[in-house]
Chains A and B, each alone.
Chain A
Amino acid sequence: DTEVTQTPKHLVMGMTNKKSLKCEQHMGHRAMYWYKQKAKKPPELMFVYSYEKLSINESVPSRFSPECPNSSLLNLHLHALQPEDSALYLCASSQQGYHEQYFGPGTRLTVT
């Protein structure tokens, strides 16, 4: 199984809401990532988990809170977002950070 799944596919939330994005992989990968992508731009790395520990936080605002409950699951908790946070949020996994990464289909987030 070489699939990374993400839920939900679409999410609309108000600035006062709390929501969570979920990501799952069953490839035995020990590194998992969250990326943010704006239209016509490359993915921007947000967080890296390696062996279930947060190893990289690319100075992401605290309204984004990642969580890795186990080696197969990755969550991104969202709270008090701003309209400029509207984007495609991509999850990925790999054996090591600089190896081939497998991406999920993304969650299209709209903040109103």
Chain B
Amino acid sequence: SQQGEEDPQALSIQEGENATMNCSYKTSINNLQWYRQNSGRGLVHLILIRSNEREKHSGRLRVTLDTSKKSSSLLITASRAADTASYFCATGEAAGNKLTFGGGTRVLVKP
């Protein structure tokens, strides 16, 4: 079953602009992760934020987590055409020993 809802479902921006996408979830989590998927390919892990963390950075990526609102956001700064992909959030639940993926945000970065 799908735990997370992502917003927006699709996003179109110009190269150099920032892209922000949001993820909401329903249950208690151990961590929240973001993955990228290029068209028809496997998913690539981008970043993991633990439930006791509020913000994390990795290169041009910034992730926030608000456990009180059960939500997270992913910011990609200074986007490039190569960032064109689908981005999925996934919640990690220790009790379930698995990840549950959100619906995804399709990002198009126009050169």
CB of A105 within 8 A of CB of B41, answer yes
Q: Determine whether A84 belongs to the interface, using a CB cutoff of 8 Å to chain B.
A: no
Binding site for A on B (CB under 8 A): 2, 30-31, 33, 35, 40-45, 48, 88, 92-94, 96-104, 106
Interface size for A (C-beta < 8 A) is: 27
- List residues of chain B with CB within 8 A of the CB of A106: 40-42
Q: Is the CB of B98 within 8 A of A99?
A: no
Considering the chains assembled together, what is the distance between the CA atoms of A33 and B103 in angstroms? Answer: 19
**Given A42-B2, A55-B97, A98-B31, A108:B102 Cβ within 8 A:** no
Counting residue pairs across A and B whose Cβ atoms lie within 8 Å, the total is 64
Chain B binding surface SS class: strand
A31 to B30, CA, bound (A): 17
In angstroms, Cα B44 to Cα A106, docked, is: 12
**Contact partners of A50 in chain B: CB under 8 A:** 97
**B98 close to A45 (CB less than 8 A):** yes
State which of A42, A88, A99 has its C-beta within 8 Å of the C-beta of B101: A42
